[in-house]
Structures are given as structure tokens and as C-alpha cells.
Copies of this chain bind each other. A is one copy, B any other.
Amino acid sequence: MMSRVRVGAFSISVDGFGAGPDQSLENPLGLRGKELHEWAFATTTFRTMFGQQGGSTGVDEAHAARSMEGMGAWIMGRNMFAHSRGDWSDDGWKGWWGDTPPYHCPVFVLTHYARAPVEMNGGTVFHFVTEGAEEALRLAREAAGDRDIRVGGGAATIREYLTMGAIDEVHLAISPVVLGGGEALFAGLDLPALGYAVSQQALGENATHIILTKQ
């Protein structure tokens, strides 16, 4: 098994936004951004991840489960980790996910501001990388070994790795919502020119799943 770099369960609106406008502590996904993720919140995988019972078991669930499988490292943009900007303050922020984040492996956070690693329960360690996307990928490859690397988000981070041609597979979930503004995933991105094509389409209960692979 070769390690692959994957985007998984990345939700977008029909009009192509990966988050709503005006991200804040109250609205980490931007205004109405939560509506993008309703399909995921309904699945057994995501409910279990956040300590809830039950959940769906169909096509959406299969894609949610697949998105979490086999990960040896994650990469994410700072805005996915924190609402704060600029220098890290002493506010004790350790991500949106409580004491036991759902990653269970090293997570490399892209930032312009240095910070010591933060070790969480359950195997998640947040590392803060100030040397850019290439270096974060190198560190993630080293940490992941044969396992996969997940580029979590947000849209800007995914766009950066797509433009580098570094991503082997992208799983998008198109939710039945229009946002009109926010983080545009596709703006200026010529996916066919970068070598990407749709390899699978699966029609879920609450979203349409599209798999893009690099040729």
C-alpha cells in the first residue's frame, strides 16, 4: 500500500463554497456554513466521532467512513484549527474538538506564527508549521509512513495543495444549498489542466459525492 494524499468529505455548496462568509468564534464555518455539513452530521461515523448514538448507514455513511480510514497524518490551515489570527496568545486554545480530537495522529497546522506542539488525548498531536505547504507535506509524509495523509481544509489550503499537484484524490460532497458567498473552492482553479478528473459519482441520501483523482 502506497501512502496517498487525500481530501475527504469536503463539503461544498451548489455554488461552490466550502465555508460561508464571516467566519468567527460563533460561526467557525462562516454564516450558514453548518448547512454544508448536515449530510455528515447524520452519519454514524460523525455521530460516533462526537460521542453521539445512532446515525445513518447508507451511501453518505459509507463516504464518511471512507474519509476517515487509514489516515497517518493530517494537514490543515490555521483557520480550520482556530478562530484567532496573528500571534498565538496564551488563551489555551487547542482546536474546536475538545480534549480528544477525532484525528488520533499527528496534525500539521499551517501558520505564520511559531508555537510549541500540543499533545491531546487519543494520539492527536498538533504541530505548527511555519515553513509553508511543501514542508508541512514533507513532515506529514514522514509521520504517516505507509498510511494516507488527509488535507483537511479549509478551501484555501486545499486549493494550494491542488495547485501544487500534490493531492491524489479529492472527495467532495455537494450539499443541496446555495450560499452566495464565502470560501470559493474552484475560483481560478483549472482542475483538468492540473490533471484531475471525476472518477466516481455516488448519490447519497443528503449529498452528492464526487471523487476526483489525479491522472
Contact = CB atoms under 8 A, between A and B. Distances in A.
Nearest to A17: B186
Contacts of A180: 189-194
Contact of A178 (B14, B176, B198): B198
A15 interface: yes
A55 to B, nearest CB: 20
A212 interface: yes
A196 B162 CA distance: 31
Contacts of A201: 176
Interface residues of A, number: 30
A16 B176 contact: no
Interface string A143-185: 0000000000000000000000000000010101111110000
Contact of A198 (B176, B197, B200, B210): B176
Contacts of A186: 15-16
A191 B16 contact: no
A203 interface: yes
Contacts of A177: 197-198
Given A203-B203, A208-B203, A15 B189 contact: yes
B178 A208 contact: no
A112 B174 CA distance: 38
Contact of A212 (B16, B178, B196): B178
Interface of A: 14-16, 32, 172, 174, 176-181, 186-187, 189-194, 196-198, 200-201, 203-204, 208, 210, 212
Sorted nearest first, the 10 A-B pairs with minimum C-beta distance are A203-B203, A180-B190, A176-B201, A15-B186, A208-B208, A180-B192, A178-B191, A176-B198, A16-B16, A180-B191
